[in-house]
Amino acid sequence: MRKLVVIAIGGNSLIKDSEHHFVKDQYDAICETVKYIVDIIEDGYEVIITHGNGPQVGFIMRRAEIAEEVEHMHPVPLVNCDADTQGAIGYQIQQALQNEFFLRKIKRNAVSVVTQVEVSSNDVAFENPTKHIGVFYNEKQVKDLALLHPEWTLTRDANRGYRRVVASPKPLKIIEIDAIKALAEQGLIVIAVGGGGIPVIRNDKGILQGVNAVIDKDYASSMLATQLNADIFMISTGVKNVYVNFGSDNEKEIKNLNLREAKILREEGQFAKGSMLPKINAVIKYLENGGGKAIITNPENLKKAIDGEAGTQITYK
């Protein structure tokens, strides 16, 4: 039986820098990433893809705010912006995969699943927003934004500047999990749980309702990998490896980690809250729930990493 790999593509890894955040730039980055994913598929692995939406949902949200401020258009809730990013990014990944299959004469197809993920209405995240979205700002811009948008919360994101933060509740249940399983069993390459999923809660009658938040895609992807019994959980991000002392003069890349070592480094504060920490937490959760192996690397090293030749390889023992 073919090994199953869940590959989580970071939203930031699809935007190379501040000069390349247009839709075409993102599609070009997706096409490049997809080539490495198809290399893995050609090697005989079954693949399910998830993706982030931090920068993209920030763009959509701000665009909606400007339309409301300038043209008095109707407001667009954050939860709908989440759904918009699932459709837009999922479409780009799906099309890029289909085109790459066509060029390589591979008889496979891809499909995107608009995925809801249940969260708790009592999650403390709604009172303490921590999820970074949108673009990076410098200190001068932050001062200006504080005057323009006093309702915003902005915090430092690793060593890259300041970003807006919103509520990020923990995922509890993937609503469309049965549909994802069925499609994968039919041999389709499934794109699911985009942006961590569209956050929903159940009311007193058990009816689903959207809620304004952004679920961390690494946590939701970890849950997906666990529920699908994935053999490998890969996180594609902006760096080749996990590092200790990241951003300092004595930073050092990590090639191999086990679960115990990962927990020790986490307790030492080696991983930034808005950057590597959620990835490490997601990997730890996956391994604790019986996962086989996790890998963290950048898009261009996905194929090498799955062959054990690049990235940070994280195992239970």
Among this protein's residues, is 181 annotated catalytic? no
Rounded to whole angstroms, how far apart are CA atoms 51 and 53? 7
Q: Work out the angle between the directed axes of helices 217-227 and 277-288 (0-180°, nearest 10).
A: 20
Q: Which of 52, 53, 54, 131 is catalytic?
A: 131
Q: Which of 35, 279, 293, 303 is catalytic?
A: 279
Provide the residue type at 263 as one letter.
K
Between strands 232-236 and 4-9, the pairing is parallel
CB atoms inside a 10 Å sphere around CB 59:
19
* Residues 6+ positions from 249 with CB-CB distance below 8 Å: none
Among this protein's residues, is 58 annotated catalytic? no
Among this protein's residues, is 12 annotated catalytic? yes
Tokens of 140: 């001068």
Q: Tell me the DSSP string of 223-282.
A: HHHHHTT-SEEEEE-SSSSEEESTTSTT-EEE-EEEHHHHHHHHHTT-S-TTTTHHHHHH
Among this protein's residues, is 128 annotated catalytic? no
Q: Which of 194, 196, 217, 311 is catalytic?
A: 217
- Rounded to a whole number of angstroms, the CA Rg of the chain reads 19
60-66, long-range: CB < 8 A, 24+ apart:
60/84, 60/85, 61/133, 61/134, 62/134
Among this protein's residues, is 252 annotated catalytic? no
* Residue 76 backbone zone (phi > 0: left; psi -120 to 50: alpha; other: beta): beta
Catalytic residue numbers read 11-12, 131, 217, 279
